[in-house]
Amino acid sequence: MIKQERPKDECGVFGLYKHPEAAKITYFGLYALQHRGQESAGISVNRGVDDAIFSHKGMGLVPEIFNMEDLERIEGGSAIGHVRYSTTGDSVLTNAQPFVANHRHRSYAVAHNGNLVNAHILKEELEEQGSIFQTTMDSEVFLHLFIKNLIKGDYESAILKAVSKIEGAYSMVLLTCKGEIIGIKDPNGFRPLALGKLNGHYVLASETCAFDLIQAEFIRELDPGEIVIINEDGIRSIRHPKAAEHKSLCIFEYIYFARPDSTIDGKNVYEMRKAHGRRLAQEAPVEADLVMPFPDSGNYAAIGYAKESGIPFEMGMIRNHYVGRSFIQPTQSMRDFAVRVKLNPVRELIKGKDIIIIEDSIIRGTTAKTRVKALRELGVKKVHMRISCPPHKFPCYYGIDFSSKGELIAAQKSVEELRDYLGLDSLHYLSIEGMLEASGVKNPEQNFCKACFDGNYPVAFDPNFTKQCMG
Amino acid sequence: MIKQERPKDECGVFGLYKHPEAAKITYFGLYALQHRGQESAGISVNRGVDDAIFSHKGMGLVPEIFNMEDLERIEGGSAIGHVRYSTTGDSVLTNAQPFVANHRHRSYAVAHNGNLVNAHILKEELEEQGSIFQTTMDSEVFLHLFIKNLIKGDYESAILKAVSKIEGAYSMVLLTCKGEIIGIKDPNGFRPLALGKLNGHYVLASETCAFDLIQAEFIRELDPGEIVIINEDGIRSIRHPKAAEHKSLCIFEYIYFARPDSTIDGKNVYEMRKAHGRRLAQEAPVEADLVMPFPDSGNYAAIGYAKESGIPFEMGMIRNHYVGRSFIQPTQSMRDFAVRVKLNPVRELIKGKDIIIIEDSIIRGTTAKTRVKALRELGVKKVHMRISCPPHKFPCYYGIDFSSKGELIAAQKSVEELRDYLGLDSLHYLSIEGMLEASGVKNPEQNFCKACFDGNYPVAFDPNFTKQCMG
Amino acid sequence: MIKQERPKDECGVFGLYKHPEAAKITYFGLYALQHRGQESAGISVNRGVDDAIFSHKGMGLVPEIFNMEDLERIEGGSAIGHVRYSTTGDSVLTNAQPFVANHRHRSYAVAHNGNLVNAHILKEELEEQGSIFQTTMDSEVFLHLFIKNLIKGDYESAILKAVSKIEGAYSMVLLTCKGEIIGIKDPNGFRPLALGKLNGHYVLASETCAFDLIQAEFIRELDPGEIVIINEDGIRSIRHPKAAEHKSLCIFEYIYFARPDSTIDGKNVYEMRKAHGRRLAQEAPVEADLVMPFPDSGNYAAIGYAKESGIPFEMGMIRNHYVGRSFIQPTQSMRDFAVRVKLNPVRELIKGKDIIIIEDSIIRGTTAKTRVKALRELGVKKVHMRISCPPHKFPCYYGIDFSSKGELIAAQKSVEELRDYLGLDSLHYLSIEGMLEASGVKNPEQNFCKACFDGNYPVAFDPNFTKQCMG
Amino acid sequence: MIKQERPKDECGVFGLYKHPEAAKITYFGLYALQHRGQESAGISVNRGVDDAIFSHKGMGLVPEIFNMEDLERIEGGSAIGHVRYSTTGDSVLTNAQPFVANHRHRSYAVAHNGNLVNAHILKEELEEQGSIFQTTMDSEVFLHLFIKNLIKGDYESAILKAVSKIEGAYSMVLLTCKGEIIGIKDPNGFRPLALGKLNGHYVLASETCAFDLIQAEFIRELDPGEIVIINEDGIRSIRHPKAAEHKSLCIFEYIYFARPDSTIDGKNVYEMRKAHGRRLAQEAPVEADLVMPFPDSGNYAAIGYAKESGIPFEMGMIRNHYVGRSFIQPTQSMRDFAVRVKLNPVRELIKGKDIIIIEDSIIRGTTAKTRVKALRELGVKKVHMRISCPPHKFPCYYGIDFSSKGELIAAQKSVEELRDYLGLDSLHYLSIEGMLEASGVKNPEQNFCKACFDGNYPVAFDPNFTKQCMG
């Protein structure tokens, strides 16, 4: 497996209320959300004919995990699904979601995107009461809380009580053994969760690109702290008592995670990236023969940069579309193979040229360093790099794997030191102001979580927190 | 499996002379050539310690077929490899190459890219003499001829006699049980075959992108009719007696097949495509808000068109990188799924706009039609399409699967009829003159095979020929 | 899958304390216990270097589930293992054992053979307190109880409190995250559990045949209600407060389940079966040309019967050793295929003969009926059947899948009716007295559970009990 | 993989003429013949609707190679099948049968059991004429000869000319692209080939146990040199011009290879083995407590020996039915694992006893030695061994893998030396006279090949022959 140095969103979630092909459509929903997690995937279904919840989960990509037979066996009714990229070492089937548990002959399934910052405290409290845990997933903690409260009340109050206890980022879908689908977004709205409709059936998905594939109609993004309950009475919203006035939508969803054809909270991802590229050209112009991205993530900012600067846009690195996830160890002579196999520079295009590379972010810097070296070896004259977001100086506690501060190279080195480390002629980042202003969002300062850039964390967390429990 | 309507080159070949990691490097060579054939792959090795030739072949992609253990078992010595896309219905393991046969305790392996136009006649002649056939591959026919002549002479004369009999397109690599590697290009030079060197070991590959991945040095393209014999005495070239004065290099290699980072016969594929795009902008200008390709094949011509026309370049269709080859059948409600799953348009970018689509070719037209329809449904105002090559009006008999004339929509409809069929506001193709002039090649008229555009076939063939026997 | 009509023991368990090849030896232990469960298998390991418990579980046979790489990844320390045959419909990976759970940063793994008769009641109690369940396994119930008590005390007291709550049959091995191995046998000693030693390392196994394969030394069978705690201080036994004076060892272990080369509680299984066969010959003699078993389970009683009666022993039905578990559906013309494919009669041996068939038990009777019919079709003159145990008239609630009374043909039909149904010339069962007396055990009436024959259940159970929760 | 030291027949063949479920029934035929070859299997079908022959072949056991989908794709018409155990190092898919080749738009498939002793000479002759070979199978040599002659004549004359050239042992089935099935037995009748009928459709199989499974009626064994041609005109026999007066049926088929429920040439295998056991008891009596076989191959002779001697028959070694073909490497401490895992002695039965082991043959002696050692370690007093055939002193050139003389321990050691080597108290072999007389066949001296015992080879062969080419 090619070591991935890029940050990874932990999950994508999907839910569909009572549809004759619920399992299959959930499969395709996950297919469209595959970029949000490639480690494991799962679908849970209540077929509406009894109280059973059937699940099928596995390690790997969506098409590797499910086959027609599996889906047909559980077809019909309501379904939720999940794709996962693990941020912990526990890359095991046990941690694949949806998480399913039984209580008093009733089953519940939960799929979760985000990270609870107080999961470890809640877990300890539950363990004091004798609860045992089989996974390291936040969803298990949530389900314990939900069920403890369910003993004393109805679904609605149990959910409200459970969400009152948990803190952090969570966009969740919950399936009950009655086929109800409940969508939950945390009070700060860190992670996206959109509501749509497919021929009259409500659908929830982390990103709108899932709606496009299944040809569902987009209705709206859920509000921060909104809980939608979908059942035979239709759809009903309740609110988290502490729902924030301003949302804290993760701006890195626009910069890197989300698919460019998705629209989050009214803003298209492609357009946002292009706007960041234009702003970057204004903030950090430089003379060169061509502008080129590290594809595919840098493509759109590069288009914006090229347009604003008037310097020609080129796709100077060619992607090998057949790179599998596991393969033969390269030979000694094949230096930097893992990086080269994915992108090969077009020698004739760049030889003797001054080039501007547009990259969307630098986390650890090792891949970028190797790529710059490869370009130099082919005879590039000058290599300028422009990053379409500010330097990543702070870890994320809300579901993105920026691991620790120690792994964030921008937290360790100044921009000049980093330029030198990467072997560049110049290096510039987009400013925080530029990023916010170019976003086109009103009062952007108040409506985004940008903690990874400035360290202002919207939800407090335990600084001694170690990531042991997450979604 | 998503039905592929695009033309497909049948093969990629690779050969490496005596290297301690010959099998593994051949594996990576095939990895880089994977775009030339995704149906089956194989590697044959003579380890240099005995006269045996070990082969490992399978159906599927290169990383699916080989594992470390397989390769280590056959590691060392000389190796040849092959990737294949079948143009016949015989998509079976039996037809995977290299083709290996034994004669007088000696083994030979052949990997072939191209198509013999007289294979059926040769086969009949051989059958009259009692030869039997186990495959439908041209390589089997060649090996019969080679060995019949070997009884009466040495390698060199046997090869010259065998190639004197066969007609058509053939870039072949032959491995003998002594570890010799022989590279053969047909007298007209239809298909590419490049010579390189890896730390002193000669290497042959269909495209230079294979050299880039294994970090081999490119030496030169083989001449039409050139036969290189690589053995312990070094490398030696002999010539086909009827080697043509002018080559007939398949121009469609530049337009569609080859990877943009490959350089064929001194011309870089990316640059060629961009030049075609620029010329297309001169020949067929139109006012619009943006220029966009159907990725990835249209990317480079689109960049050229945008630059020449001054109209902004955008990547308005997003590719799903996780589309597997086999998956669940979509539901009734998911119309045109096979096309949509691969490319999703960015609604916000194109809504209400006039757009120019750049496509590299139209073969059957069905995918293009569906994509145009999808764009219209998202609210595009005007859709202009520009094709970066002339209309495909004639089948190819030299190894490209343009099937029959009946399947070539440009042979059935006028440009205006096709514009109407595809639902376009305007449609223009690059002219033959434009294609040739923009190529930057001297005397292009004499140095390319462009039979699929004008019907001038450089090598005669039997019009009743049915494709039963190919490489 | 050939529908299996024979009763099936649910499980085999194995445990090994601190051995450098603990995982691998556990693998081989399970290999020898495979006959006790072919549905799923699992191994859990604490490597002794940290508090982690690693598990590998899967559906299928032991060699299908584990590979060298899996085992080496978790090698060393203490290990427990489990093979399972599901008696419920929940034949899913979730229910594969060992069952592992975490509590206060500590992990525990449990493997269980038997069935708790009050699991449903305990589960309800736990659920009232907010516990949630992810499986339908008894081990999950036990672990909840154990951990609830562990909050208030040490291991020893927690185990004693937990076992005081559970009722039924349970031979369990427990692995703690400190590498301790705890073996637990229920107060009545329904299921076997033997203690051995392998080069100084203690080992526990359901049957002694596992010791033979790994070349461990047999020490002794655990006593009813005995709990052995194996840790760095050596081995220590504590007793269940209600340990019964007399054991209730399942006599069907001797008759059918256990391997003939195992010795349970001092009595060899092969010898026991032969003794039953001899007694059967005394109780139900008949003139015939030959005595033959339905192999392999009837082999040993047939040898005893033949010896006692003086009638020649023959192996008149040949077993196909290559019968896989899943295969092609036979054609219309192949009647009774599932039965025939496993055993084919030797026509020449039996034609025109009077034969005595020895069978160890009849549960549903359908297979026996088909086999008798096949014998008749080959020209057998008279077919007498002798069963080496009494008629099965009562379901088992202690871990054997005699499903319900409705499926036990001997509960539905008199011996004469059954003889007629099976198409036999005569049919006789071993008497309960005969079975007990021939066992060679002192006071057999008090030392065996023979509830399936006489309905005297040693441990009370809820008659409305439905098997929802088991080991 | 447990190294198999027993001799192995190379193949089983099967053929069925025009049946709507030809492929599926051939599958079941091979299933019943699986004991004749576990390395690879294949089915070839002409569906009767065109001239195509479809094949499916693979490495492994029959149920591993075929699935319902494969069979349904090629269902209907005439089919032949083959199971193979390789006697050469070329254990590769290329050598899986049926061997299929094409000539003048016609296809032929051949499945072969036996070994041609002049294949290497014929191959050289063919190679001088320019033929090339892709496999090391005898069937390829036969098909070359057949087709060379077919150019000049019809099927019948082509087959007669081809069989006139080949020498050795061959029981073959040939499928033509017209759906004809041709069964061929060599002039000496070394290998069995039986004719049967399934609901009016002719069927051919190596052994009658295949007829039992598919419920076909046995008609007769083919005569030596008989060629049956089955087509729309019915069945017709022609004779090899040199068909021998006396057959040379391989007596080792009865002793070891064939299934005991098969009947070859009018003699049932089970009965033959029992007769050999009885004779052995007469020739080599000894006092002991019990007689036991090494199961399963020694079972039947042991029953005969026990009966004749009056010493009790016991099954003192228990077979593990779940031994897979590939698994984890045992640990250091597990001595002689490969032998122990398959058969475990019943300690209680044999301790302190004098025992007689009945074995059907000793080839290399290593397994027997280990088993005797295991018995001694469990406290057996005296171990006598009786072998139910004479000593193997000569290699087989007719299709059985007794490799070379050097590997036959009886060719290297006297009986007394071997007794000592194996650690036995006494060792006796059945005499050649005893073997023949007990067979119950008239003029047995003239009707069996017993070359492996006495070196009288019915068909001459080149002593320098190295097995390079076989069936």
Contact C132 A100 (CB under 8 A): no
Please give the pLDDT value at position D87.
Answer: 53
Whole-Å CA distances, D393 to D362, D408, D416: 10, 6, 15
Please give the pLDDT value at position A73.
Answer: 86
DSSP per position, C143-179? HHHHHHHHTTS-HHHHHHHHHHH--EEEEEEEEETTS
- Closest alpha carbon to B395 in B376, B382, B409, B408: B408
The 8 Å CB, 24+ separation contacts for D406-410 are D407/D363, D407/D364, D408/D363, D408/D364, D409/D362, D409/D363, D409/D364, D409/D365, D410/D362
Contact A133 C100 (CB under 8 A): no
Query: What count of other Cβ atoms lies within 10 Å of the Cβ of residue C295?
Result: 18
Please give the pLDDT value at position D399.
Answer: 85
At D298-333, the pLDDT tens digits run 999 999 999 999 999 999 999 887 776 545 777 777
Give the separation between CA D468 and CA D137, rounded to whole angstroms. Answer: 8
Task: Render each residue's pLDDT in chain B as its tens digit; 471 residues.
Answer: 222 334 444 799 999 999 999 999 999 999 999 999 988 999 999 998 888 899 999 888 898 899 888 888 889 999 999 999 765 444 567 778 999 999 988 899 999 999 999 999 999 999 999 899 988 889 999 999 999 999 988 989 999 999 999 999 999 999 999 999 999 999 999 999 999 999 999 999 999 999 999 999 999 999 999 999 999 999 999 999 999 989 999 999 999 999 999 999 999 999 999 999 999 999 999 999 999 999 988 999 999 999 999 999 999 999 887 776 545 777 777 777 777 888 999 999 999 999 999 999 999 899 999 999 999 999 999 999 999 999 999 999 898 876 667 789 999 999 999 999 999 999 999 999 999 999 999 999 999 999 999 999 999 877 665 443 333
Q: Hunting for tokens 């098409």 — which residue is that?
A: A63
Please give the pLDDT value at position D69.
Answer: 81
Give the separation between CA D452 and CA A354, rounded to whole angstroms. Answer: 82
Give the separation between CA C145 and CA C152, rounded to whole angstroms. Answer: 12
Q: What are phi and psi of D157, to 5 degrees?
A: -70, -35
Least confident of A102-111, C64-73, C450-459: C64-73
Please give the pLDDT value at position B69.
Answer: 81
Give A281→chain B minimum CA distance, Å: 16
Structural domains of chain D ordered from first start:
11-257 (3.60.20.10), 270-440 (3.40.50.2020)
Q: Does residue C260 register a pLDDT over 70?
A: yes
Q: Which residue of D has its CA nearest to C299?
A: D315
Give yes or no for a contact between D229 and D182, defined as CB atoms under 8 angstroms apart. yes
Contact C134 A102 (CB under 8 A): yes
Whole-Å CA distances, C314 to A191, C272, C281: 74, 20, 16
Asked if residue B98 has a cis previous peptide bond (ω within 30° of 0), the answer is: yes
Please give the pLDDT value at position A2.
Answer: 25
Q: Does residue C338 register a pLDDT over 90?
A: no
Give yes or no for a contact between B79 and B26, defined as CB atoms under 8 angstroms apart. yes
Chain B residues touching D127 at Cβ < 8 A: 103-104, 151
Contact D347 C64 (CB under 8 A): no
Which are the contacts of D4, defined by CB distance < 8 A and separation ≥ 6?
Answer: none
Please give the pLDDT value at position D4.
Answer: 36
Single-letter residue type at C128: E
Give the separation between CA C67 and CA C64, rounded to whole angstroms. Answer: 8
- H-type helices in D33-154, by residue range? 62-65, 68-73, 119-128, 138-150
Give the separation between CA A197 and CA C176, rounded to whole angstroms. Answer: 49
The 8 Å CB, 24+ separation contacts for A214-221 are A214/A25, A214/A28, A214/A29, A214/A32, A214/B333, A214/B334, A215/B333, A215/B334, A215/B335, A218/A194, A218/A263, A219/A194, A219/A195, A220/A194, A220/A195, A221/A192, A221/A193, A221/A194, A221/A195, A221/A264, A221/A265, A221/A266
Enter the tokens of residue C287.
């003139």
What is the sign, positive or negative, of the torsion defined by CA atoms of B64, B65, B69, B75?
negative
Give the separation between CA A38 and CA A18, rounded to whole angstroms. Answer: 27
Q: How many helices (H) and strands (E) does chain D have?
A: 18, 23
Give the separation between CA C300 and CA C293, rounded to whole angstroms. Answer: 8
Which are the contacts of B444, defined by CB distance < 8 A and separation ≥ 6?
Answer: B436, B437
Enter the tokens of residue C264.
């349970």
Contact A134 C101 (CB under 8 A): yes
**What's the mean pLDDT in D215-238?**
97
Q: Does residue D342 register a pLDDT over 70?
A: yes
Q: Is C207 on the interface with D (CB under 8 A)?
A: no
At C69-115, the pLDDT tens digits run 888 888 999 999 999 976 544 456 777 899 999 998 889 999 999 99
Cα B377 to chain centroid, rounded: 35
- Closest alpha carbon to C462 in C395, C382, C383: C395
> What is the share, in percent, of chain D residues with pLDDT greater than 70?
93
The 8 Å CB, 24+ separation contacts for D432-437 are D432/D390, D434/D276, D434/D279, D434/D280, D434/D282, D434/D283, D435/D251, D435/D255, D435/D276, D435/D279, D435/D389, D435/D390, D437/D279
β-pairing, D354-359 with D290-293? Answer: parallel
Please give the pLDDT value at position D401.
Answer: 73
Give yes or no for a contact between D42 and D109, defined as CB atoms under 8 angstroms apart. no
CA dihedral B325, B328, B332, B338 (to 10 degrees): -10
Q: Does residue C268 register a pLDDT over 90?
A: yes
- Closest alpha carbon to D139 in D245, D11, D47: D11
- Closest alpha carbon to D34 in D15, D60, D57, D4: D60
Q: Which residue of C has its CA nearest to D335?
A: C215
Give A460→chain B minimum CA distance, Å: 36
Q: Does residue C298 register a pLDDT over 60?
A: yes
Single-letter residue type at A207: E
A469 in active site: no
Angle (deg, nearest 10), helices A269-283 and A299-309: 40
Q: Does residue D92 register a pLDDT over 70?
A: no
Give yes or no for a contact between B368 and B362, defined as CB atoms under 8 angstroms apart. yes
CA atoms within 13 A on the CB side of C224: 19
Give the separation between CA A133 and CA C134, rounded to whole angstroms. Answer: 10
Task: Give the mutation candidate from C134, C150, C161 for the A interface (greatest A CB count, under 10 A).
Answer: C134
The answer on whether D449 is annotated among ligand-binding residues is: yes
Enter the tokens of residue C92.
């899913």
Residue C181 pLDDT grade (very low, low, confident, very high; cuts 50, 70, 90): very high
Q: Does residue C405 register a pLDDT over 80?
A: no
DSSP per position, B223-247? PTTEEEEEETTEEEEEE-TT--SS-
Contact A261 B318 (CB under 8 A): yes
Give yes or no for a contact between B337 and A31, defined as CB atoms under 8 angstroms apart. no
3-class DSSP state of B455 = coil
| Of residues D68, D215, D349, nearest to C329 (C-beta) | D68
Q: Is A131 on the interface with C (CB under 8 A)?
A: yes
| Of residues A66, A321, A334, nearest to B214 (C-beta) | A334
DSSP per position, D409-464? HHHHS-HHHHHHHHT-SEEEE--HHHHHHHTT-SSHHHHEE-HHHH---SS---TT
| Of residues C271, C307, C328, nearest to D349 (C-beta) | C271
At C359-386, the pLDDT tens digits run 999 998 999 999 999 999 999 999 999 9
Please give the pLDDT value at position B86.
Answer: 63
| Of residues A131, A134, A148, nearest to C134 (C-beta) | A134
Q: Does residue C278 register a pLDDT over 90?
A: yes
Q: Which residue has the higher pLDDT, D105 or A208?
A: A208
Least confident of A262-271, C301-310, C329-338: C329-338
Q: Does residue C295 register a pLDDT over 70?
A: yes
Please give the pLDDT value at position C7.
Answer: 45
Mean residue pLDDT of chain B comes to 90
DSSP at C255: I
Give the separation between CA C142 and CA A134, rounded to whole angstroms. Answer: 14
Single-letter residue type at B90: D
Give the separation between CA D401 and CA C443, rounded to whole angstroms. Answer: 57
Angle (deg, nearest 10), helices A366-377 and A415-422: 50
Give the separation between CA B92 and CA B353, rounded to whole angstroms. Answer: 47
- Per run of 10 residues, the mean pLDDT along chain A (length 471 residues) is 39 97 95 92 93 89 86 92 71 81 91 93 93 89 95 92 96 96 98 97 98 96 98 96 93 95 96 98 98 93 98 94 67 75 93 97 92 94 98 91 78 97 98 97 95 94 52 34
Q: Which residues of D are catalytic?
A: 11
- Closest alpha carbon to B115 in B11, B14, B17: B11
> What is the share, in percent, of chain D residues with pLDDT greater than 90?
75
